[in-house]
Amino acid sequence: MKKGGLVALLGLVLLPAVASSWNFDYSIISDGGILGPSPHYIGVLTSGGEGTLEIWFDDSGWPTDPQERFDSLWVWYFKDNYDSIPGAANWYGRLQGRFYLSTTAAPPGYVGWCEGTINAKITVRDINEDRVLQLWERDKQHLFDARLSKLCSDPSGGEMACEFGWGAIASNYFSFVIPPGPDTLYDGGNLTMMEGCPSATEQTSWGQIKALYR
């Protein structure tokens, strides 16, 4: 791309200034985990600020019976995704959902609420590395590693209104609970917000902005 064309394109995108990142800890609990009805986790921030965090997954089309649901999720998302790392072999599955964050106390720029997409990667260790999932492997706690992407919120969103950004949360305590019961995710996370929103006629994502530099 010619220099003049790049300048013109950047002028259209109007790159925002980066706000400082915010780190926090959280603890969220689900009555039934991913295998329960309307799977969702709701809880609080435990350090870095005060507020609530929710994660919801759409289970439309998933079996309602917990065992049938696990079997289906395993086939749909995990079975064919196998990483044969010596000493750390694992299956992994990716699920997309929504997150909702509301804060009453946080560093400047992060008081208010926001919502967006969560892309979660769940890693299940194949401890004996035989490529066969054993019940005792299934019933252990697993790594939950998720990326957050947040677009413009309603103007009533406080300091995070009309901003967009990205973040992450992680936990070593994800479980497949059969029969469905309490399942708690807790550990750390971070969020980075960008000032300014794409216009209604140009819904530019952060990924698209970064792609300009490739």
Q: What is the pLDDT of residue 161?
A: 85
pLDDT tier at 18, thresholds 50, 70, 90: low
Kindly report the CA angle at 194 between 192 and 199, in degrees rounded to 5? Answer: 145
Residues found in the chain: 214
What is the domain partition of the chain in residue ranges?
A: 17-197
Q: Mean pLDDT lowest for which of 68-72, 152-156, 194-198, 207-211?
A: 207-211
When mean pLDDT is compared across 12-16, 89-93, 128-132, 182-186, the lowest value belongs to 12-16
Q: Would you call the peptide bond into 66 cis, given omega within 30 degrees of 0 as the criterion?
A: no
pLDDT recorded at residue 213? 32
Coil, strand or helix at 10: helix
Whose tokens are 């509301």? That residue is 102
How would residue 148 be classed by pLDDT, with cut points 50, 70 and 90?
very high
pLDDT at residue 197, as a whole number:
60
Confidence of residue 117 (pLDDT cuts 50, 70, 90): very high
Query: If you average pLDDT over every residue of the chain, what do you get?
Result: 84
pLDDT of residue 49: 96
Report d(CA 43, CA 37) in Å as an integer.
18
Measured over the CA atoms of residue 205, residue 206, residue 212 and residue 214, the dihedral's sign is negative
Q: Mean of the pLDDT values across residues 74-98? A: 96
Q: Which residues pair with 54 in a beta bridge?
A: 42, 100
% of the chain exceeding 90 in pLDDT: 66
pTM over 0.95: no
